[in-house]
């Protein structure tokens, strides 16, 4: 039997790149997946490819996010795993940054993840049967980086917020048998950026890893599959670096 056979999974921001790799990996392991993304055409193509469902969502809008999550859960007939992969990336020198610019990149990922966790956890608790030790999994995607180069104060702050939210959620949802963990990818080459491998800085980035290469979306997807499986039932509130050893620096 596949590791995720029968699991009902919602992936936010799952239409492309790391999110899409997670969707494909989960389906290959037997899960049924709903893809939520603002890029509804890409989400629909992916859902059609894997036999899942797609839902358009504006992750910056509280009401829209909650309604989309609830529709996805209803469409799946429940939920066993939530994967939160969403964010806004901005670059600006720290000393030149307008404090107001911190708003969306900082608040949007944490806000959308909070809403998704609330909706998913309520559904997981409602479907819990007597004797179930671990009826639900929540996996938030943050980052191992955010401070390795200049101009990333927005990014570093929002990812730190995601990790703090993960720990708080793990504490409160643990008594309900729900685990909450965080994935922290390093430099990952994204399929949506086909020229990434040929950039001059790739060699410099690759040298940061003892393995001598950048990450691929499938590297992150495999880690997500581990956290979603019963192999990780005793892990909660943890942040798992998927960075090829880059955090050793």
CB 13, CB 190: distance < 8 Å: no
Tokens linked to 27: 């389906």
From the candidates 55, 155, 187, 234, give the one annotated as an active-site residue: 155
Q: In terms of C-beta density within 10 A (0-12 exposed, 13-18 middle, 19 or more buried), how is residue 70 classed?
A: middle
Annotation says 155 is catalytic: yes
Alpha helices in the chain (DSSP H): 17-28, 40-50, 62-76, 103-126, 153-173, 202-207, 217-228
- Angle, helices 217-228 vs 17-28, to 10°: value is 50
DSSP-based three-state secondary structure for 101: helix
Indicate which residues carry an active-site annotation: 155
């Amino acid at each position: 039997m596949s590791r995720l056979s029968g699991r009902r999974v919602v992936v936010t921001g799952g239409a492309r790149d790391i999110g899409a790799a997670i969707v494909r990996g989960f389906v290959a392991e037997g899960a049924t997946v709903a893809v939520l993304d603002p890029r509804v055409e890409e989400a629909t193509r992916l859902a059609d490819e894997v036999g899942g469902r797609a839902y358009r969502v504006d992750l910056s809008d509280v009401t829209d996010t909650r309604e989309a999550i609830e529709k996805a859960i209803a469409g799946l007939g429940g939920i066993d795993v939530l994967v939160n992969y969403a964010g806004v990336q901005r670059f600006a020198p720290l000393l030149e940054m307008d404090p107001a610019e911190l708003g969306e990149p900082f608040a949007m990922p944490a806000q959308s993840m909070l809403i998704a966790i609330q909706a998913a956890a309520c559904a997981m608790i409602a479907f819990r049967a007597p004797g179930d030790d671990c009826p639900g999994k929540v996996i938030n995607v943050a980052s191992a980086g955010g401070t390795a180069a200049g101009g990333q104060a927005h990014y570093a702050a929002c990812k730190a917020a995601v990790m703090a939210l993960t720990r708080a959620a793990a504490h409160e949802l643990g008594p309900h048998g729900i685990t909450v963990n965080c994935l922290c990818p390093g430099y990952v080459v994204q399929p949506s950026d086909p020229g990434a491998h040929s950039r001059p800085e790739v060699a410099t980035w690759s040298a940061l890893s003892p393995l001598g290469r950048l990450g691929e979306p499938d590297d992150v997807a495999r880690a997500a599959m581990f956290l979603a499986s019963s192999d990780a039932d005793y892990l909660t509130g943890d942040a798992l670096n998927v960075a090829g050893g880059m955090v050793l620096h």
